Every structure is written in structure tokens, then in C-alpha cells.
Structure 1
Amino acid sequence: MRISTAHFFESGKQNMHARQADLMRVQNQLGSGKRLLSAADDPAATQRLIGVDEALSRLGQFERNANAASARLSIQDSLLTSASTTLQRVRDLVLQGRSGTLSNADRRFVATEVRARLEELVQIANGTDANGDYLFAGHSGNQAPFILSPGGAVAFVGDQGVRELPISDERRIADADSGFRVFQDIRGGNGRFSLLASSANAGTGVVDAGEVTDPGLWNGRSLDVVFTAPGTLDVIDVATGTPVATGLAFSSGTALDVAGVRLRITGDPLTGDRFEIRPSQATPVFDTLRRTAEALEAGFSDPASQAAFNNAMNRNLLDLDHAIEKALEVQTSVGARLNAIDTQQGINEDVRLQLETSRSGLEDLDYVEASIRLNQQMVALQAAQQAFVRTSGLNLFALL
């Protein structure tokens, strides 16, 4: 077989280039500390590495979401604590204001503080996170969810949306609660029904909160307790206008059981006085505070107006208790979510460490093995160079 001089030199050059490329590759690996410098180095490992990197990227986003949710929930927890403190103070004011030892002028002073507490509660409900977004506005975080009018009425202009952030592939966490849930959706009365004294009552009857004794018999009906004569009353089904019971005897403070409900009326109701049993409706806490201030400002001047005042304050006290319970309920939910975030972050960290270990196994360089290969490649390059030099000197002219 004849080999041309040109072919011989080209073959030697390519061989030395190949050895130099192998040596440079090992040097680059040692310099970077990475085994995989390109997908061609190990296609299967590269594919697995892409999957690991994607999983690590998701974990990074989960961590950012968890931190953001934790920050917002911590602020909400603080706001709910402030709201509970404000409501407890208003409750104390209700107890103080309904005391018979105060004058109407004294009650107006109490009413002034109640209105100040109302403004304070609106400020709390319009609290923001570190980015200036309103926490209780639902999806409308760029505008205040509650608007206080000069007369004390408060309008909710947010929405009931809840933003949920993923903190793992299977778990999402609400990072706040809608103001509707916290401050608006509060059951009035005893939670099942409200007992209201008619504003037209002329007697001194004061009604308690009442209770349901037979849910099936009551069945959520609206009922009117109407005094038809001194010491005598009828119970009317409002929807049908038909009597449920007639001619019932009344005694102040004695329990009245009728149509699945029980109530007590103290005092001396007059003929025509009416007490209304209505299924509980959502009672915004701001309305409760406004009604409290209005009742304190109005005061009373005679036994009938005193009874109306007592009925109003009893109702407000009951609604305040439900508002305090709601704040505690939501705060408990916030605490549970914060604990869930902490737990999930611990799980995510364990997963991250496992993925980092897998990534290291796929990508990181074994320095001992690479150093051995470096020496081997240097020897191979030197051998190729020496072989080329020796063989290139073999020609017929050297024998002449």
C-alpha cells in the first residue's frame, strides 16, 4: 500500500489535533469543575440534568411564593389582633354605656369613642402589605375595600376573591382573606335567628337572644310575637299570616316555648307590642358599631324608650361577640396556614437537597479521575508528536 507524503502529514496533523482536543477538554473540565461541558458529552445524563434543573427552578418559585404568602399572612395576623383589640374595647363601651348610672350626656361621650373606634376599625380593614396592596380587598388589591361615609355607614367595594399561591406541586395557600369574610359575613342574633323589638313598641318589654329548641319545628321561619292583651300573646307565621299559637299566657322573665324556639321577655309589654323572630342574616361589624353609637347618642327619656335602648344595646352586644369570634376564627385559619407554609418549606428544602445531590452526581467532575485522564492525554499527545517527528524523517534521501 502506497501512502503519499501529503496524506502522511495530514494524518499526523489530525492525530495530534485530536490528542490536543482531548487534552483541552480535560483541562476545561478541571477548570470548570463540571463533567458535562456540552450535551454531546453524555446525552442521557444531560436529559436527566435538564429535568433536575426544571424541578429546582419550580422549587425556587415555590420558595418565593411561600415567603410572599408568609409575609402577607403575618401582616394580616397582626391586623386581626388589632381588630380584636378594637372590638373588645367597643364591647367594654357597650357594657359601660348601657349602665343605668350614666346620664344621656355621659352616653354621648361614650358614643364619641365608639365612632372613633369605628374609624380605627375601617383603617385596620384597609390595611396593606409591604407592596401597598390592600390585604382585604380580594382581587382588587389596588383600591381600599372599605369606604366610610360621614354618617358612619361603611360600604364594601372589594370582592370576595382569594389569591392562592402554589407552594408545592400539590399545595396552594391563600395569602389573605376577603374583607367580606372577615368584617361583613357575620351572623346576627344568636347565630340561628335574631330577636328584634318593634320600634313602635310602647311598653317596657326587653327580649333576650333566644334559642332554637327544635330545628325541625322552627324550620327557619320568620315569626312575630304579638301581644293581644295584657299578659296574653299570639305567635304569627309571617310568611303565611296564620297563627302558630294563640292566647298564650305571658309572665315577665318566664321562658316562652313555641314553634321550636325559646325566648324570654322581661318587663311589661303593652297591647300591640311586637317582637320579631327572623333568621340570622349577615351583619357587617361596621353596622353594629354605627348602631351602637346611634343608640348611645339617642339615649332615653322614659321607661318605654329605655326598653328600646336596652333592646338595641343587647342586640349590639350579641353582634359584637359574633364579630370577635369571627376575627378569632379567621386568625386561627391564618395561623394554620402559616404553620402549613413552614412545614411545606421544610419538605421543599429536603427535596431541594436531594435534587442538588442528583445534580452534583450528574454534572460535577471527579477530580481524581480527571487528573488521571489529564496525564493520559498528555502522554498520548507527546507520543503522537514524537511518532510524527520520527516517521517524518524517514525518506530515501537520508540513505544517499
Structure 2
Amino acid sequence: MRIASFQFIQRNLNNISGHTSKANEQLGQMSSGKRVQYASDDPVAANGILNYKQELRKLAQYQANINLAENRLRREEWALGSAENLTQQVKEMLLGANNPAMTQDERNAYKAELQSRIDEMLDLANTRDEFGQYIFGGYQTDTAPFTRQPDGTVVYSGDAGQRDMSVGDNVRVGINHSGERVFGGVPNPRGDFTVKYQLTDEVREDNLRVERAHIDDKAAFTDAHPYTVSFGDSAANPGELEITVTDGAGNVLSPQPPAAPWIYEPGTPITVDGVEITLKGEARAGDAVTLSSSESDGTGQDLRYVFDILNRANDWLSSDGHNPTGQSELIDLLDEMDAMAGHFTRVRADTGNRMQRLDNQKETHADMSLTLEKLRGGMEDLDYAKASGEFSQTMVALQATQTMFGKVQGMSLFNYI
């Protein structure tokens, strides 16, 4: 078969061009480190690589969310830890001020110091995150959630919302506690009512106090507070004290079960209007204890606000405090301080649990990212040893084609005539 010179030359040029193109492609792969640069290189592998990259981008976003959530929870944990310390300082302050030899000027100095602690607590309640948002405002993050009123009370203007952050597939973690829960959710150590004492000045070794006052029978409870428990000498039982309980309208309430007269026995519960009341300590004729609640919806005041407790401590420092009424008030205050510290500790522990959840999720994402990167690399990354060998083979073939073409092209019968 005759082969025209044009066909011969064209075929060899095509071979040279093919080897050159293949060599250039191999050089591009070696310079980029990628075996699959375009979908046409390996359509099946390209689709898998795309899926892996999408998963890796999603994990990177989750990691960014985790970092943001950690920063906010760390800020909250710091604020809660500081609130715990302030509570302990206030308690120590009250114990230090409970000294009969202390002058009013010295008590005023304690009061000024307490006011400073209250200001610090207010600053903590209005803590902001790194973006300037208030962390204890619930969903209301742009305005200060706690504001002091002219009468010294502190009002919460946020809401009970909890913001969540997506940190994994179907995994969301709360990044805040609302101010209503943190600063308005202190368990009332007395139960469902706050207590006010009006005691005589007679000295006693064991201060009269309300151990517990809670709604025991919600069906019988009429919410007729404030309830006043009064003590008087018993005519029928000389040497004993009779108890009289009146409601907010001045109506005398009957004890349950009925008893006549109603004799005071320390530690023995009494029940009126569905409320079980336990008093302890030494009572005197003329003593009175008032139980009240800021709620009038039948639930009682089972939660206390931090700033109400601190203002009550401020009021105690403003009074004498070294009398039976003041000492009973102090017992209540110290119990409320312990409840407040315990409450901050519990919320802080919940914050720590959330941070632990973030740490666990971070480790899960790191392991998954490592696996996905390995799978993606197996499909996309270049095997340099193999690629180097193939490139050498391509160059040898190219050089051989070029050499052969040069020699054959120069052959002619005229050289042998």
C-alpha cells in the first residue's frame, strides 16, 4: 500500500502533538497536585469530590458557629462567676455589720459598699458580648435589659427567649440564659411567700423565724394574702402562746384541722387557707409575722429577684438590725443569699454543660473532616510517584517519535542512486 508523503507527515505530527499535549496535561497535574482538575478528567470522581467539598464547607460553617457559641457562653460563664463572688461578698458584709458595738457611721460605710456591689451586679446583668449585644436580654439584645428606677428597684425589660445556634445536623445549642431566669429565678427559701417581722424587743436566745410557708392545697388556696400570724398569751393555757392568723382583709382564719385555742409549738406546721406555715424559735406575746407575695395569680412567690434581695439587704443595713426583728430579718437574708449563690452556681453549671456539648461536637466535626479530607484526597489528589513515572514515559515516547520522524523524513531514493 502506498503512503503519501502528506499522510506520513500528518500522522507523525499528530503523534508528536498528542504526546506533547499529554505531557503538558501531566505537568499541569504535577504543578497543581490535583489528579482531577476538570469534570472531564474523571466525571465519576468529580461528582464525588464535589459532594465531599460541600460536606467539608458545611462542617467549616458548623465550626464557625461553635466558635461563636463558645465565645458567648464563656462571657456568660464569666458573668455568672462574678455574680457568685459578689453574692458571697454581700453575705460577708452582712455578717460583718451584725455587730451590736458597731456605730451607725460604720453601718453607713457598709451600706455604701453594698450599694457599690449592687451597681456591679447591675453591670453584670447588662453584660454585652463581643458584638455589643446584651447577653441576658433574651431575644431583646439591642437595649439594656435591666434598668434602675428612681426608687432603687430594678426592672427587667427583656424577655424569656433563648437563642440557639446550629452546631451540627439537627443539633442546636442554647447560647444564652435570659435575664428573667438568671436574675429573677432564685428559689424562695421560705416557699411561696416573703416574710416581714414585727417582733417585740424582748431578748430571746433562739430568734423567731418562718422556716417554711408554701401553698399546700391549691384547691383551698384563695390568695387572700398578706397573711398575718400574731402571738398572744393564752387565757385557757397560762404560759402558752396562742396564734391568730388573719388575711389581707382582716378576717380571722380557722386552722386546719380545727383547734381551739391554737397553741404555738415551734416546728409544728399550721395550715390556713391552703397554706402550710412552719415557724421556729422563741415567740413573745405581741409578735407578728406577715406573709405576702408579689404574685396574685394563685401560684405564690416561689421565685425571688436578685435585686429585690439585694435591696432588702440594703434596707436592713439602713435600720438598727440589732434587735429581734432585725435578727430574724437577717436570718431570712442569709438564707436568701445562699439560695442566690446556689442559683448562680446551677445556671453556671448548665452553661458548662453547654460548653461541653460544644467541645464534643467540635471533636466529632474534626474526626469527620479528617475522614472526608482523606476520601476527597484519594479521589482528587495526585500520586506524585506514579505521575512522575507516567510523565517520564510520555517524554520518552515524545522524544522517540520526534527522532524517528526526523530520520524517516530525511530518507530518499535519490540518496542511493
- With the length of structure 1 as denominator, give the TM-score of the two structures: 0.82
Partner of 1:326: 343
In structure 1, the partner of 2:236 is none
Q: CA deviation at 1:20?
A: 1.8
Instruction: Report the number of matched residues.
Output: 390
Instruction: Find 1:264's aligned residue among 271, 279, 286.
Output: 279
- Partner of 2:45 in structure 1? 45
Partner of 1:380: 397
SS at 2:304 equivalent: coil
Q: 1:219 to 1:88 in 2, by over 3 A?
A: farther
Aligned to 2:308: 287
| TM-superposed deviation, 1:344 | 2.4
Provide the secondary structure at the position in 1 that maps to 2:186.
coil
Mapped to 1, the partners of 2:218 and 2:140 lie a distance apart of 43
Report the secondary structure of 1:159's partner residue.
Answer: coil
Alpha-carbon distance in 1 for matches of 2:103, 2:264: 30
Task: Give 1:176's aligned residue.
Answer: 176
- Whether the 8 Å contact between 1:107 and 1:297 is mirrored in structure 2 is yes
Residue 233 of structure 1, aligned match among 243, 246, 249: 243
Measured in 1, the distance between the counterparts of 2:185 and 2:382 equals: 61
Q: Distance in 1 between matches of 2:25 and 2:156?
A: 67
Which residue of structure 1 aligns with residue 378 of structure 2?
361
Tell me the secondary structure at the aligned position of residue 123 of structure 1.
helix
Q: Give the CA deviation at 1:85.
A: 1.1
Note if contact 1:225-1:233 (Cα within 8 Å) is conserved in structure 2: no
Give how far 1:332 is off.
Answer: 1.1
Partner AA of 1:285 in structure 2:
V
Letter in 2 for 1:290: N
Question: Contact 1:185 / 1:284 at 8 angstroms: preserved in 2?
Answer: yes
> 2:193 maps to what in 1?
194
Aligned-residue identity in percent? 25
Unmatched segments (≥5 aa) in structure 1 = none
Q: 1:275 to 1:155 in 2, by over 3 A?
A: closer
Indicate the larger mover: 221-230 or 319-328.
221-230
* 2:319 matches 1:298: yes
Distance 1:121 1:135 in 2: 14
Secondary structure of the 2:84 match is: helix
The answer as to whether partners of 1:299 and 1:309 remain within 8 angstroms in 2 is yes
Tell me if structure 1 keeps the 8 A contact 2:187–2:343.
Answer: no
CA RMSD of aligned residues (A): 3.6
- 1:59: which partner in 2? 59
Deviation sequence 1:309-342 (CA, Å, 0-9, x none): 3444333333222211111001111222222222
Q: Which residue of 2 aligns with 1:343?
A: 360
Contact 1:114 1:293 in 2 (8 A): yes
Shift of 1:117: 1.0
CA–CA separation in structure 1 for the residues paired with 2:24 and 2:336: 80
SS of the residue 1:144 aligns to: coil
The structure in which a higher percent of residues are helix is 1
Structure 2 alignment gaps of length 5 or more: 202-206, 234-240, 294-299
In the alignment, which residue of structure 2 is the partner of 1:315? 332
Deviations 1:150-208 (A, max 9, x none): 54322223333333223322432223322222112223243x3225237xx57569432
> Residues of 2 paired with 1:219 and 1:98: CA distance?
40
Does the CA-based 8 Å contact 2:200-2:325 persist in structure 1?
A: no
Deviation of the 1:343 alpha carbon: 2.5
Shift of 1:71: 2.6
- Equivalent position SS for 1:227: strand
